[in-house]
Amino acid sequence: MHASILTLTGVLAALGAAAPAATSQAFEITDLKTCEVDAGNTTIEFTVHDPDPLTDAYAKCTGVWKTGSGGYPSGSYERCGNSTFAWNMAAHKSFFDFTLGIEHTFEDPAVGDYPYNMVTNFGKANVSNALMTCSSSGSEGSCVQKVNSTIKAPIWATAA
């Protein structure tokens, strides 16, 4: 019995030591722009920030797909340039009504030694025309995130 309690205590201590040190603050999205051209392409670009003090990282994300094709990234994530961020469309109704999925992978020394010290956080942000200033002209529509606003993408999952 005494050995079982010591074993359980040891296991719990090891699990506690492997807990990520990251605080899992919501990702912040700024400078979001979308554009849709009938019989052309839909484009998106935005800046994402992970404000966690462990990372404090930024990246610019972009995407282009044929309008109406459903060719935007969904399921899998598309990398944001050479950064450790990636994005997808968790849900998509239009160029001004969608849910962005954000993924960020970073090193957390509290988790362990390389390569076991990598942590990936996943966040989602609901975007609607209430958060954007949109206009249309003929076969083209575009939206820009409202000035001085930040769209939050709360962390919904973490993998270490």
Q: What does the pLDDT read at residue 23?
A: 64
Return the H-helix or E-strand segment holding 87: strand 85-94
For residues 114-119, give the mean pLDDT. Answer: 90
For residues 106-124, give the mean pLDDT. Answer: 92
Q: Which amino acid is at 132?
A: M
pTM: 0.82
Task: Please name the residues in contact with 39: beta carbons below 8 A apart, sequence gap of 6 or more.
Answer: 67, 139
Q: Is residue 98 within 8 Å of 74, Cβ to Cβ? A: no
For residues 64-70, give the mean pLDDT. Answer: 91
**pLDDT, tens only, 71-97:** 898 889 999 999 999 999 999 999 999
CA distance 139 to 27: 33
Q: What does the pLDDT read at residue 14?
A: 41
Cis peptide before 109 (omega within 30 of 0): no
2-159 — its CATH code?
2.40.350.20
Q: What does the pLDDT read at residue 119?
A: 93
Band of the pLDDT at 6, cuts 50, 70, 90?
very low
Q: What does the pLDDT read at residue 47?
A: 98
For residues 10-24, give the mean pLDDT. Answer: 47
CA distance 77 to 45: 15
Q: What does the pLDDT read at residue 2?
A: 45
Q: How many residues does this entry show for the chain?
A: 160
- Domain ranges for the chain: 2-159
Take residue 153 and report the two structure tokens written for it: 């993408």
Closest alpha carbon to 157 in 83, 90, 60, 109: 90
- Of 15-29, 54-68, 88-102, the one with minimum mean pLDDT is 15-29
CA distance 131 to 134: 10
